[in-house]
Each structure stands twice: as structure tokens, then as C-alpha cells.
Structure 1
Amino acid sequence: MMPAIFKSLKSLYSKTKIILLFPKTKINLLFPKPKSIHSGQIMYVKTYKSEKNFMVAVCDRDLIGQKLKNEKCEIHVSASFYQGNEADAETVTRLLMSATTANLIGKKSVSCAIDCELIDPDSVIYFGDIPHALYFTI
């Protein structure tokens, strides 16, 4: 059973370097390796780096070039923003875990972020049946 202090730290500091102060066994206890249930599924991933930030844009391959609408907004899944390298779920998950910001669109892409507990399923918005999620580290 995980002590309450570790549960609190997991929710508060899951994306900060403070976690690195714990012994390796505690990190593994707090943050188990994400399950790769999407192995074999290929997505597009493009990364953007600045001095302090690392952004990852991920989308399902079949969405490039589409314009999606819901009742509040419209999004264009542009190749210039999303279409970087092809990547499997394991690669996408690894990049997401080191990102300070993420922009995800598509069932496979958003599922990867949910599976590694980067995105809460309740924070996902939908364009029809296509999920979209944003992640920011503050």
C-alpha cells in the first residue's frame, strides 16, 4: 500500500525534478512504467524546444489535413504543426513523459497520454468522436 505522503507527492510533483530526489525504488513504486497497449500503432509526433520548454505535438496519422469542429471551436490538424516523425506508442509515451507541454489529437494519441497518466480523461474535449487534449506544466 502506498503511504499518503507518496500519493500526495505523485499528484503534486509528478512532472518536477523533486521526484528525482527519491530512491529509484520509490520512483518505480510511484510511477510504474506505462503500459503499452497501443504497440504497433503509429502516430505522428513533432517536438518543439525552447530554452525552458519542451513541447510535444502528437496526432493520429489519418487526421492530418482535416478540419474538425465542435459546438465551441474549430481546429485544423495541420501537417506543419503535427506531422513530424512517425512514432509508436512507446516512443510517444517516452516523449510525453519528458514534455512540459503537449498537444494531442486522435484516439491513439490521446490514449497514450491517458495511459501514462499525463492526461485526465475528464479533461479531454471532443470534435465528434475525435478526442483532443492539452497538457501544461506550471
Structure 2
Amino acid sequence: MYLKVHRIPGAGEVVAVCDAELLNVTLMRGDVKVCITGGFYGTERVDEEEVRKALCDAGNANIIGKRAVALAIAMGLVTEADCIMIGDVPHTQIFRI
């Protein structure tokens, strides 16, 4: 998986996670185009443990891909009902207030 933590001064951080095979892929959902780029999701592969740690600490997260979303579900952070499908790829977001 790829992981990038965006630190936003005064607003906290956003953790972005995607499955490795999705990097640099563009997905379509109706008229909406989703570009999965290294600029947002990172360019260094990480292991599942690093993703777990980042998600545990995340105030906000953007997660895309079958394995990445399944991990968030297994951690109890989201449910399947919290996810949308973009083609055959699950996507979810976490917002903690």
C-alpha cells in the first residue's frame, strides 16, 4: 500500500492510503473522475503495520482500494455501509470531530 500523511497547520492531518496497484490509475464514477496520484497518496510503499498506526492516529483519512478499505473495516474504523464503489474499487473517508 501507499501512505502519505498531509499535515495542515491549524487543522491537523489527513492520512491518505491506497492499494499499491491503484497508484497512477484514474477511476470513473459517472461524470466524476478520481485520479490516484503519488502527490496525494505518496510514492513510498509501506507495510500494513505502518498503515494501521497512521489510521489509529488519524483525525481524517482518505482510503481507496480493496485491501486498504478492508483493513479499515477490520480495525473497526468504518463499516461496509460507510464505503462507496468507484467502478469495482471501494473508497471511504474518515472524519473525526
Query: Which runs of structure 2 are paired with 1:1-138 in the superposition (5 Å)?
Result: 43-50=1-8, 51-71=10-30, 73-138=32-97
Unpaired segments ≥5 residues, structure 1? 1-42
Which amino acid letter does the alignment assign opposite residue 108 of structure 1? Answer: R
**CA RMSD, 1 decimal:** 1.4
Structure 1 residue identity aligned to 2:18: C
SS of the aligned residue for 1:58 comes to strand
**What CA deviation, in whole Å up to 9, does each residue of 1:47-96 have, x standing for no partner?**
01234412110001111111101236221101211124321112101110
Partner of 1:39: none
How many residue pairs match? The answer is: 96
Q: Relative CO higher for 1 or 2, CA cutoff 8 Å, sep ≥ 6?
A: 2
Once the two structures are aligned, what percentage of the paired residues are identical? 34
Letter in 2 for 1:67: T
> Runs of 5+ in structure 2 lacking a partner?
none
The structure with the largest alpha-carbon Rg is 1
Please identify runs of 4+ aligned residues in structure 1 that moved more than 4 A.
none
In the TM superposition, what is the alpha-carbon distance from 1:110 to its structure 2 partner?
A: 0.8
Higher strand share: 2
Q: Read off the aligned partner of 1:100 and give its amino acid letter.
A: G
Describe the shift of the 1:52–1:90 C-alpha distance in structure 2 as closer, same or farther (beyond 3 A): same
* Counterparts of 2:92 and 2:36, CA distance in 1: 13
Q: TM-score, normalised by structure 2?
A: 0.89
